[in-house]
Chain A
Amino acid sequence: MMYGWLWRVIPGPAVVRVAVLAVLAVMVVVVCFSWVFPAIAPYLPLNDITVE
């Protein structure tokens, strides 16, 4: 549905659409790795290594 809609709104032949979607996916990964995940990691109790 959402992804079907995304597929329909991207113009051009299938090859171009696949390329555009790939670029979008890479951008999502970059944004997550650079900003989103570093921001939420401290709230997860996975990495406490000190005694306090």
Chain B
Amino acid sequence: MRPAATARRRRPPAHLAVGVLGELFLTAGVLLGLFLCWQLWWTDVVGQRAQADVVAHLAFPAPEPTAAAERALRHDAAPVLAEPAHRTTFATLRVPRWDDIERPISQGTSTRDVLDALGIGHYEGTAMPGAVGNFAVAGHRTTYGKPFNRITELMVGDPLVVRTAGTWYVYQVQSTEVVGPDQVEVIAPVPGDPAASPTQPMMTLTTCHPMYSARQRYVVHAVLDHWLPVVDGTPAELERGA
């Protein structure tokens, strides 16, 4: 202790300043590393837990598996819910191409209170599931539970199964595109053509592109193939895919 203490007293102020500066840089480096751990790992841990919790508390009636022959696939006009209040979770999404996880869809696309906290968000003012127009949703591709992490794996024809309390809506992927962040026409009632009036029920997913960047958006368009009342069973897409 003693020799070290004397040495310290003798050290010129410039040495002291450089030493403190060095320690500040080291501290900044460690804090940046911690931030990356938080953003890339911890927000997923918290997000996946929170989103699973939201789905578990939805109290949607559990569907009975049904023999294919008894399933009444409907191609007529589907039942459509009214838009709920901001932050209300009104539907879930299952994508057999990815996994059998049921992810919540909530009203609104504000970052902190919906997309970070609840997962997939529905663009306010766009169509609701099953409606003629464009049911447009956004979700994180990385971080915060990353619901759309595997979006580039989707292929044309893949089913996207949306469920509300009483209805299954089975959409089929029609096309994918990469656009700029200000190209809002992708969520227009007729995607890509804001002036046109819609004739079919579409669904659009948007997320960031490339991964870990906000430079562009990855967009997937799907079209409603059929719908099915939940009391009539579970869509075949879920039973075979997952």
Name A's B-contacting residues (CB within 8 A).
Answer: 1-4, 29, 32-33, 37, 40-42, 45-52
- Min CB distance A4 to B, Å, is 8
**Is the CB–CB distance between A33 and B42 below 8 Å?**
yes
**Is the CB–CB distance between B20 and A49 below 8 Å?**
no
Residues of chain A lying within 8 A (CB to CB) of residue B219: 51
Residues A51 and B187 in contact in the complex (CB < 8 Å), given A1-B23, A37-B38? yes
How many chain B residues touch A (CB < 8 A): the figure is: 42
Stretch from B55-63, B71-79, B140-148, B159-167 forming part of the interface with A: B140-148
* Closest chain A residue, CB of each to CB of B212: A46
Name B's A-contacting residues (CB within 8 A).
Answer: 8, 16, 19-20, 23-24, 31, 34-35, 38-39, 42, 109, 111-112, 115-116, 121, 123, 138-144, 148, 179, 181-184, 186-187, 206-208, 212-214, 217, 219
Residues of chain A lying within 8 A (CB to CB) of residue B115: 49-50
Instruction: Tell me which of A2, A29, A48 has the highest count of chain B C-beta atoms within 10 A of its own C-beta.
Output: A48
Residues A49 and B34 in contact in the complex (CB < 8 Å), given A1-B16, A42-B112? no
**Is the CB–CB distance between B111 and A47 below 8 Å?**
yes
**Is the CB–CB distance between A45 and B214 below 8 Å?**
yes
- Min CB distance B210 to A, Å, is 12
**Is the CB–CB distance between A32 and B35 below 8 Å?**
yes
Residues of chain B lying within 8 A (CB to CB) of residue A40: 35
